[in-house]
């Protein structure tokens, strides 16, 4: 997260477990332009093993989040590591989200 945004967040707000994006939205006209999330199965390397207290080569899921503002400036880049043996993903899907024209006869 850019330093100028981090300076807007107080220790009190962090202790209150408020969402960082909610804090910034309340304090400034933060407009999220978009984002990407990547999910990847990885094996723990030595550094991860030391930090997470796991075995080298233990399977993990890595989720990388990239959020940007409407002006394309990065807002937040986060890497999450989760044990692969307890990872679960659920998607709620609506047909309104799909372009069904790909299934039309041509």
Domain with CATH 3.40.1410.10 in the chain: 33-91
Q: At which residue do the structure tokens 């043996």 appear?
A: 85
Q: Which helix (H) or strand (E) holds 40?
A: strand 32-43
Average pLDDT of every residue of the chain: 84
70 close to 49: Cβ distance less than 8 angstroms: no
Share of the chain above pLDDT 90, in %: 20
Per-residue model confidence (pLDDT) at position 47: 92
Please state which CATH number belongs to domain 33-91.
Answer: 3.40.1410.10
Q: What is the pLDDT of residues 36-83, one digit of tens each?
A: 999 999 999 999 899 888 899 999 999 999 988 888 788 888 888 888
């Amino acid at each position: 997260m850019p330093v100028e945004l981090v300076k807007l967040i107080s220790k009190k707000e962090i202790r209150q477990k408020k969402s960082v994006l909610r804090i910034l939205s309340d304090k400034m006209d933060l407009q999220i332009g978009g984002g990407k999330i990547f999910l990847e199965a990885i094996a723990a390397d030595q550094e991860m093993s030391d930090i997470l207290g796991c075995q080298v080569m233990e399977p993990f899921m890595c989720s990388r989040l990239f959020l940007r503002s409407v002006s394309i400036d990065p807002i937040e880049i986060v890497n999450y590591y989760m044990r692969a043996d307890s990872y679960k993903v659920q998607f709620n899907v609506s047909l309104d989200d799909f372009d069904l024209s790909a299934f039309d006869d041509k």
